[in-house]
Amino acid sequence: MPNERPDPDELLRRLAEEEKQEKRGKLTIFFGAAPGVGKTYAMLEVARAELAEKRDVLVGVVETHGRFETAALLVGLEVLPRRKISYRGVEVEEFDLDAALERHPALILMDELAHTNAEGSRHPKRWQDVEELLDRGMDVFATMNVQHVESLNDVVAQITGVIVRETVPDSVLERAHEIKLVDLPPDDLLERLRDGKVYVSAQAQHAIENFFRKGNLIALRELALRQTAERVDAQMLAYRKAQGIEQTWAASEQILVAVSASPYSVPLVRAARRMAASLHAHWYAVYVEPRGVRPLSKVDEARLSENLRLAERLGAEVVTLAGDGASDEILRFSKERNITKIIVGKPIVARLRDRFRASLVDQLVRHSGDIDVYVTAGDAGDEERVPPKPVQAPVQIPSYAAAAAVSLVATGVAWLLFGRGQLPDVIMTYLLGIILVSSRFGLVPSMFAALLSVAALDFVFVPPFLTFAVADLSHAVTFAVMFLVAVVISGLTERVKNQAASARQREQRTAALYELSRELTSAQSSRRVIEVGAGELEKVFSSRVTVFTPDREGKLHSVHASSGPNGASERDAGIAQWVWLHQKEAGLGTTTLPSSEALYLPLAASGGIVGVLGLTPTARDRFNSIEQRRQVDAFAAQLALAMERAVLAEQTEAARREIEAEQLRNSLLSSVSHDLRTPLAVITGAASTLLQSAPRVDEATAQDLTKTILEESERLNRLIRNLLDMTRLESGAVEVNKEWLALDTIWREEIV
């Protein structure tokens, strides 16, 4: 029986989320593939039905575009008057947010959700107006097309050749209460265009020749259907998780392929890609990292990394899990993600341990439940691409010699301490030696030590002595039990040793990431952030680091380079510019310019790409390990966020200085205006007196008035000269000439 008990933590989270949503309005989006499919018409029909149910409905914004059928549905609905804004000499009408908040209807209609508001509005985008309406508890009906979804913007541009500037964040769609798909076949939409029901005749013909080509409409329709299907699939997964439903619901195909370091994973991944393409299904490439086993060799790490990168290039979502059992982790992940099909490799070589316990394939088939399990070795044509089996590592002679020496020492110690009369103590001495060999040299040398210990016990301590013959058959059982116990102890010791090594590596990675975060937090300026981050990257990854940041024109420049005295080369700058433009990694270990000596990563922050990071390792196989690449990505993400924080802090500080300078300028002008008016008034009064009373003014009075005019003019000149000097200082035209002076010189000047 499947476990149908809901997850208590998930229930608590849902209750908290529902309590939060109670005070927030509900957003319903009428979603279409292109203009003209009837989104506004459908929205108005539903709104009229709500009005018939005695609900308070208000039309905030509805664009009829001259369509009579759409305008007819507005009859009987209350329409909110638009707010008039003067924009670049033209009077435009925009949605009146304040009036809508004051009116506070139960439901408000907002057409064209991706619309950009004119300057002077409270929010630059209409979807931000909708967010404020929702926060005030009002329900909202809105319309939008698939080309306005922000994550699909580049896909739409590639299909149609048109870059859509007005977009809506995906988070708005994710928080929507309901998305209603308004669909119309491309032929019907083109017929509506020709009939003038979407645009006027001249515009319709131009639209048919450009954006509204039938191929574009088919592709946009598929995008709209997929976007809506993903929304429904997300709702289904959330419901299954909340209700504790573990069995698979095959509402849509989800494929999982198990990937390992085996060379046969290459044809397996390609087979999974072909199946996913034929079923139009989302697929995952999953690697399970077992705990407590010996780490992969460098060859296996490189092959595993290449297998996962191949899956990622073919469109898979790569996931790495960690657990004690590969089958348990794969099945747990499959139930969480509603996987319908699991693809695993067909065992080619029979292994001895499969005789004693079920193989991965057997465990998956036995416990998969409703999930289909496909066992395949890939196509025959892929066998040529399977790399040859690597040469086995040479036998470590010193470890086996040490195992033999430990067995010999254990024999001597047991002979001296216990002799032949205390056989249990002798056995414990041998087991102690086996544990020492296992903890130091590994599993196989410890098993060799166990074999030697059993032989030495028989030869020295079991009669007949100094022979390998056994007089009492009970001793044979003792030998077998001792060997099995030694093997078990060796395996457990090896497991604990590997777990300790894995924990130590995780601790080192965590400590390095913590050290980076701590250093970046203390850095204030963007220059200091880059220096600190580059220094930590150089130390942790033994690599030369280059950091590129864009200028105002969007061209990258190297701001930190440890690659040499001349900094970054033109080739490095070219690769970094490509990474910046395409927002994809390139260079060493990637599919783009893999011959490069450096790995280039985009520094992606919440607000976009802030720069490009270049890493030139001392060894080309440095980043073949999956863990190393994960750590590099984590470091790059931390550096990007710190750079964004520093840039925002600098912009905030610059804005603060501008505000203070503006306040100081206003205060200065206010005070200076009074100082300017005083001499001007005196000059004006003296000059008017001379002009009006020139025949009657004696020479002494005229001379006093002339002197007053001169003094006030000089005073006015000084004020204006000081203002000009202050302006030059503020604009940076004058640089301060700093010189070192002796303290006694300053003291003498102050006395004088």
The pLDDT > 70 percentage for the chain reads 80
Interatomic CA distance for residues 692 and 690, integer angstroms: 6
The helix or strand, by DSSP H or E, that contains position 331, with its residue range, turns out to be helix 326-336
What 3-state DSSP class applies to 180? strand
Side-chain half-sphere exposure of 480, counting CA atoms within 13 A: 6
Q: Positive or negative CA dihedral for 683, 684, 690, 693?
A: negative
Mean pLDDT of 464-485: 74
pLDDT computed for residue 4 by the predictor:
47
Domains 8-243 and 254-385 belong to one CATH topology: yes
Q: What is the residue type of 439?
A: S
Among the listed residues 203, 67, 84, 60, the one whose alpha carbon sits nearest the alpha carbon of residue 132: 60
In angstroms, how far is the first alpha carbon of the chain from the final one?
A: 101
Domain boundaries, the chain: 8-243, 254-385, 397-498, 521-653, 657-731
The structure tokens listed for 427 are 């056995």
Average pLDDT over the chain reads 78
Interatomic CA distance for residues 581 and 537, integer angstroms: 24
Provide the CATH number for the domain formed by 521-653 in this structure. Answer: 3.30.450.40
Q: Where are the alpha helices (DSSP H) in 548-605?
A: 570-582
The structure tokens listed for 362 are 């057997």
Q: Let me know: does 109 contact 47? Beta carbons within 8 Å.
A: yes
- Give pLDDT tens digits for 256-272: 999 888 888 888 888 88
pLDDT computed for residue 643 by the predictor:
85
The structure tokens listed for 408 are 């010999």
Kindly indicate the confidence band of residue 293, based on its pLDDT and cuts at 50, 70 and 90.
Answer: low
The structure tokens listed for 194 are 């020709």
Q: Let me know: does 268 contact 343? Beta carbons within 8 Å.
A: yes
- Per-residue pLDDT for 205 more than 50? yes
Bridge partners (DSSP) listed for residue 108? 58, 140
- DSSP class per residue in 588-601: TTSSSSTTSSSEEE
- DSSP class per residue in 118-151: PTTSSSSBHHHHHHHHHHTT-EEEEEEEGGGBGG
Q: Report CA-CA distances (Å) from 459 to 411, 419, 468, 482.
A: 10, 13, 5, 15
Q: Let me know: does 561 contact 552? Beta carbons within 8 Å.
A: no
The helix or strand, by DSSP H or E, that contains position 231, with its residue range, turns out to be helix 214-243
Q: Which CATH superfamily is domain 8-243 in?
A: P-loop containing nucleotide triphosphate hydrolases (3.40.50.300)
pLDDT computed for residue 47 by the predictor:
92
pLDDT computed for residue 251 by the predictor:
56
Angle formed by the axes of helices 423-441 and 473-522, nearest 10°: 30
- The architecture CATH gives domain 657-731: Orthogonal Bundle (1.10)
DSSP structural state of residue 383: G
- For residues 153 and 448, which has the higher predicted lDDT (pLDDT)? 448
Mean pLDDT of 470-482: 71
Q: Let me know: does 313 contact 329? Beta carbons within 8 Å.
A: no
The pLDDT > 90 percentage for the chain reads 8
Q: Report CA-CA distances (Å) from 1 to 240, 246, 247, 362, 369.
A: 16, 10, 10, 21, 11
Q: Positive or negative CA dihedral for 555, 559, 563, 566?
A: positive
* Kind of pairing between the strands at 372-376 and 341-345: parallel
- Give pLDDT tens digits for 32-78: 888 888 889 899 999 999 999 999 999 999 988 777 888 888 888 99
- Give pLDDT tens digits for 295-331: 667 777 778 888 887 887 788 888 888 777 788 889 8
pLDDT computed for residue 70 by the predictor:
84
Question: What is the CATH class of 254-385?
Answer: alpha beta
Q: What backbone torsions phi and psi does residue 546 show, to the nearest 5 degrees?
A: -130, 130
Kindly indicate the confidence band of residue 581, based on its pLDDT and cuts at 50, 70 and 90.
Answer: confident
Mean pLDDT of 470-498: 73
- Per-residue pLDDT for 199 more than 70? no
Q: Specify the residue for token string 């020139």.
A: 694
CB atoms within 10 A of CB 293: 14
SS3 breakdown of the chain: % helix, strand, coil, rounded to 5?
55, 15, 30
Cβ neighbours for 432, distance < 8 A, ≥ 6 positions apart: 410
The structure tokens listed for 423 are 């056989």
pTM value is 0.48
Q: Let me know: does 622 contact 543? Beta carbons within 8 Å.
A: yes
Q: What backbone torsions phi and psi does residue 596 show, to the nearest 5 degrees?
A: -65, 150
Interatomic CA distance for residues 458 and 479, integer angstroms: 8
Interatomic CA distance for residues 578 and 600, integer angstroms: 10
DSSP structural state of residue 562: -
Bridge partners (DSSP) listed for residue 87? 90
- Per-residue pLDDT for 545 more than 50? yes
Cβ neighbours for 661, distance < 8 A, ≥ 6 positions apart: 730
- Per-residue pLDDT for 163 more than 90? no
Among the listed residues 222, 220, 242, the one whose alpha carbon sits nearest the alpha carbon of residue 230: 222
Kindly indicate the confidence band of residue 568, based on its pLDDT and cuts at 50, 70 and 90.
Answer: low
Sheet of 317-323, strands arranged across: 317-323, 282-290, 254-258, 341-345, 372-376
Bridge partners (DSSP) listed for residue 91? 86
- Give pLDDT tens digits for 618-639: 877 777 666 777 788 888 888 8
Sheet of 78-79, strands arranged across: 78-79, 57-61, 107-110, 139-145, 27-32, 178-182
pLDDT computed for residue 12 by the predictor:
66
Q: Which pairs with CB-CB distance under 8 Å and at least 24 residues apart come from 90-98? A: 92/118, 94/118, 94/121, 95/60, 95/61, 95/121, 95/126, 95/129, 97/121, 97/122, 97/123, 97/129, 97/132, 97/133, 98/122
pLDDT computed for residue 31 by the predictor:
92
Q: Let me know: does 698 contact 689? Beta carbons within 8 Å.
A: no
Interatomic CA distance for residues 30 and 43, integer angstroms: 7
pLDDT computed for residue 635 by the predictor:
84
Interatomic CA distance for residues 326 and 287, integer angstroms: 9
pLDDT computed for residue 388 by the predictor:
45
**How far is Cα of residue 295 from the mean position of the Cα atoms in its chain?**
28
Q: Kindly report the CA angle at 555 between 549 and 561, in degrees rounded to 5?
A: 40
Interatomic CA distance for residues 452 and 406, integer angstroms: 10
- Per-residue pLDDT for 746 more than 90? no
- Give pLDDT tens digits for 505-534: 777 777 777 787 888 787 778 888 888 888
- For residues 550 and 666, which has the higher predicted lDDT (pLDDT)? 550
Among the listed residues 621, 622, 620, 600, the one whose alpha carbon sits nearest the alpha carbon of residue 612: 600
- Which of the residue ranges 113-127, 468-482, 519-533 would you say has the lowest mean pLDDT? 468-482
Strands (E), 370-524: 372-376
- Per-residue pLDDT for 28 more than 90? yes
Most confident of 224-228, 338-342, 359-363, 575-579: 338-342
